[in-house]
């Protein structure tokens, strides 16, 4: 059993603690830190935590604590990571790792210098559907991934600090683009280098300084594209969807909102429905077990197993750093309206990858463009002559 210091008592701290204490798990939150005395005391009582404190240093330095979990506003991640590394404690940090790549690199350097185990808590690459889809991709079920599209949209975050750029470091791109970018990296291959991005980001609806909507495309060295769509002004709940196109197949994943569990209620008696749900009346979309469906359970299982076995988690601070570098490039592109390079100071993947190539021979003289079965059962072939380049069709 690992004893945990939970830093933060907000919405995400709740989710993390529910996950850690759920399903008869053996890992427990031993002490919780909150900036607010009343919130810390109430959080500890709600979750059956023995200790609470308003001192981050005290929580991290507790001699019984083995793992520090960071569920704090973005601008406090660096401080907490440096403190945990100095104390020699394993540290798991919520997304995004830093407000920018410079901060993320500082955190990566700190944990690696201290030789402490570290995990980047990107929960959405751990959802049950995503894990199964990733297994299919890695087993070659859809061939080489050409395009991975990830969408996360909802009406906006729960806490005030998200809406304050000086605290959050950015808007919806930083808050949710990080999810979509890392999901696409996993599908395309984390060892394939992201080389350039183009991004649109605007403030369209909310009275804030940061962007509330963003779209972006990340081009990888092998030619694959990772596409993200994020919004803080989508109405109707939280929409989490991924689409993966390969040379031999396609995967569609719907993690939230339209997952096969729908309910109509005329009463609207009140109560929690699902994260970011906007109504308790009419057609609503409950979620069976949110901490499982959003990936928290599998994420913590992976990270604590890695902690026990002294191995790496599937998602580390290095992954968080790469995502921050990609997002920095996206912010540059949103300003210049041009493709911008991803400036990775550290690259640990393949040094050179060849372009995706799924061209197949049909016979000695032709390349296969397309094969299609027609409604009457005939098979039509579209072929390209290897010598002349002419495109023709024939039947068989």
Task: Give the tens place of pLDDT for each residue, 194-243.
Answer: 999 999 999 999 999 999 999 999 999 999 999 999 999 999 889 999 99
Q: Which of 233, 257, 126, 140 is nearest to 186 (CA)?
A: 126
Name residues whose C-beta falls within 8 Å of residue 373's C-beta, 6 or more positions apart in sequence.
379, 380
Mean pLDDT across the chain:
94
Cβ atoms of 190 and 349 within 8 Å: the answer is yes
For the cut 90, the answer to whether the pLDDT of residue 279 exceeds it is no
All CATH 3.40.50.720 domain ranges in the chain, comma separated: 3-123
Question: Which residues of the chain does CATH 3.30.360.10 include?
Answer: 125-288+315-341
DSSP secondary structure code for residue 42 in this structure = H
The reported pLDDT for the residue numbered 269 is: 63
Other CB atoms within 10 Å distance of the CB of residue 166: 10
Distance between CA 117 and CA 104 in Å, rounded?
Answer: 16
Could you list the beta-strand ranges (E) of the chain: 3-7, 28-33, 51-53, 67-70, 90-94, 118-121, 145-153, 194-202, 213-220, 225-231, 239-246, 250-256, 263-265, 282-284, 340-341, 360-363, 366-373, 379-385, 391-395
The model's confidence at residue 278, banded by pLDDT at 50, 70 and 90, is confident
What does the alpha-carbon distance between residue 89 and residue 277 come to, in Å, rounded to a whole number? 37
Question: CATH 3.40.50.1220: does it fit domain 3-123?
Answer: no
Q: Answer for the pair 16, 321: CB distance below 8 angstroms, yes or no.
A: no
The DSSP-derived string for 159-171 is SGGGG-HHHHSSS
- pLDDT(267) > 80: no
Give the separation between CA 382 and CA 389, rounded to whole angstroms. 12
Q: Kind and range of the H or E element at 89?
A: none
Give me the mean pLDDT over the 69-77 stretch.
98
User: Per-residue confidence at 281, pLDDT binned at 50, 70, 90?
Assistant: confident
Q: What is the DSSP letter of 262?
A: -
What pairs with residue 252 in β-bridges? 243
Computed from CA positions of residues 18, 159, 119, 190, in that sequence, does the dihedral angle turn out positive or negative? positive
The dihedral over CA atoms of 322, 327, 332, 335, expressed in degrees to the nearest 10, equals 170
Query: What's the token pair of residue 224?
Result: 């694959």
Give me the mean pLDDT over the 111-127 stretch: 98
In whole angstroms, give the CA distance from residue 17 to residue 19: 5
Nearest to 183 by CA among 247, 238, 231, 226: 226
Task: Confirm if 240 and 128 have CB atoms less than 8 A apart.
Answer: no
Report pLDDT for 268: 63
Token look-up 């061939």 returns 143
Query: Cα 322–102–68 angle (5° rounding)?
Result: 75
Q: What is the b/e burial string over 93-112, where b = at least 16 CB atoms within 10 angstroms of the residue's CB? A: bbbbbbbbbebbbebbebbe
pLDDT at site 287: 85
Is the preceding omega at residue 96 within 30 degrees of 0, hence cis? yes
Q: What CATH number does the domain located at 125-288+315-341 have?
A: 3.30.360.10
- Within 10 A of 371 (CB to CB), how many other CB atoms are there? 13
Rg of the chain over all Cα atoms, to the nearest angstrom: 23
Give, as one character, the DSSP assignment of residue 286: -
pTM over 0.85, yes/no: yes
Give the range among 4-8, 65-69, 301-305, 392-396 with minimum mean pLDDT: 392-396
Structural tokens at position 78? 């660096």
């Amino acid at each position: 059993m690992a004893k945990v210091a939970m830093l933060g008592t907000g919405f995400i701290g709740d989710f993390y603690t529910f996950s850690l204490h759920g399903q008869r798990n053996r890992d427990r939150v031993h002490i919780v830190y909150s900036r607010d005395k009343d919130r810390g005391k109430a959080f500890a009582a709600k979750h059956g935590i023995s200790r609470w404190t308003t001192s981050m240093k005290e929580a991290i330095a507790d001699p019984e604590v083995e793992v520090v979990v960071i569920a704090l506003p973005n601008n406090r991640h660096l401080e907490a990571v440096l403190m945990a590394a100095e104390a020699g404690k394993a540290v798991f940090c919520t997304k995004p790792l830093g407000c920018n790549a410079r901060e993320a690199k500082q955190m990566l350097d700190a944990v690696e210098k201290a030789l402490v185990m570290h995990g980047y808590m990107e929960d959405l690459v751990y959802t049950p559907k995503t894990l199964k889809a990733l297994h299919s991709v890695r087993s070659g079920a859809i061939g080489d991934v050409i395009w991975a599209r990830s969408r996360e949209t909802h009406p906006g975050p729960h806490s005030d600090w998200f809406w304050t750029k000086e605290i959050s470091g950015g808007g919806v791109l930083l808050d949710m683009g990080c999810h979509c970018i890392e999901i696409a990296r996993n599908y395309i291959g984390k060892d394939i280098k992201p080389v350039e991005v183009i991004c649109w980001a605007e403030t369209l609806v909310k009275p804030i300084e940061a962007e509330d909507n963003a779209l972006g495309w990340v081009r990888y060295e092998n030619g694959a594209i990772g596409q993200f769509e994020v919004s803080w002004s989508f109405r109707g709940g939280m929409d989490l969807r991924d689409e993966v196109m390969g040379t031999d197949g396609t995967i569609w994943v719907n993690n939230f909102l339209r997952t096969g569990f729908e309910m109509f209620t005329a009463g609207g008696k009140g109560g929690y429905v699902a994260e970011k749900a906007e109504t308790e009346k009419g057609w609503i979309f409950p979620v069976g077990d949110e901490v499982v469906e959003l990936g928290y359970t599998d994420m913590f299982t992976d990270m604590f197993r890695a902690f026990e076995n002294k191995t790496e988690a599937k998602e580390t601070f290095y992954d968080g750093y790469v995502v921050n570098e990609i997002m920095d490039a996206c912010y540059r592109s949103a300003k210049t309206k041009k493709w911008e390079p991803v400036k990775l100071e550290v690259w640990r993947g393949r040094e050179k990858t060849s372009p995706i190539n799924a061209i197949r021979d049909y016979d000695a003289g032709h390349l296969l463009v397309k094969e299609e079965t027609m409604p009457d059962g005939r098979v039509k072939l579209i072929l390209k002559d290897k010598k002349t380049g002419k495109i023709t069709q024939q039947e068989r």
